[in-house]
Amino acid sequence: MNSTKQYGFYVDTSTCSGCKTCMIACKDRNDMDLGILWRRVYEYAGGGFVENGDDTYTQNVYAYNVSVGCNHCSEPVCVKACPTGAMHKRRSDGFVLVEQSMCIGCESCARACPYDAPQLDAARKVMTKCDGCYDRVEKGLKPICVDSCTHRALEFGLIEDLRAKYGDNADVKPLPDSGITSPNWVVKAHKNENQGARIINVREI
């Protein structure tokens, strides 16, 4: 699965405001049908109120947002699950793509992926997913989600450069352990991410 070049994403969950501009920009550029989301912004919330015993309460309520797309993993389980070879990883840039002429829409890749990246286009009966805006990248541009981020919470580049700049953390609760797929993203975790957040689903658009 190793590629000669590997691009990846950096996500700063302490900066993301949850505006969903990245999600909308991606959906608009790719003219997606209702319910198909290659990039999703999840809100995680937790904490509560504790009675102090003197008719007062102390609270530790918090919320934070995580922008999640395909992480173009080094060990993509979607590729392993695909029975036709339609799902594949490119050596030239490390992007995981779908060759739709080979796709039978069985959704095996979607069931395997812990990040819900592959999305079924029910009308065409083929799988779709984030392609890293490879056509933009080939022209020296950034993926549309990164360019559209109003708070600059997203960054894109060679994963080795992102890790040198931001470290190598690829885990943020309550997303699955990065050891499953070796995702090519770096995450700056929110200060409260270890407190047991629960997910609030994204709105269907």
Within the chain, what is the greatest distance between any pair of CA atoms?
68
In this structure, of 84-88, 91-95, 195-199, the range with the lowest mean pLDDT score is 195-199
DSSP state of 69: -
CB 94 within 8 A of CB 184: yes
At 151, the pLDDT band (50, 70, 90 cuts) reads very high
> CB of 96 within 8 A of CB of 72?
yes
Token pair belonging to 96: 């995981």
Q: What is the pLDDT of residue 200?
A: 53
Cα dihedral 90, 96, 98, 102 in deg (nearest 10) = 50
**Cα 47-152-160 angle, rounded to 5 deg:** 95
pTM for the complete prediction? 0.86
If one compares 193 and 71, the residue with the highest pLDDT of the two is 71
* Residues of the chain above pLDDT 90, percent: 76
Tokens of 105: 């829409």
Residue 191 clears pLDDT 90, i.e. is over it: no
Where are the domains positioned within the chain? Answer: 7-47+59-72+90-95+129-198
Q: What's the CATH fold of domain 7-47+59-72+90-95+129-198?
A: Alpha-Beta Plaits (3.30.70)
Mean pLDDT of 111-121: 95
196: pLDDT strictly greater than 80: no
What pLDDT was estimated at residue 193? 66
- pLDDT confidence tier of residue 28, bands split at 50, 70 and 90: very high
**Dihedral over Cα of 107, 113, 118, 119: its sign:** positive
What's the Cα-to-Cα distance from 61 to each of 54, 66, 74, rounded to whole Å?
20, 17, 36
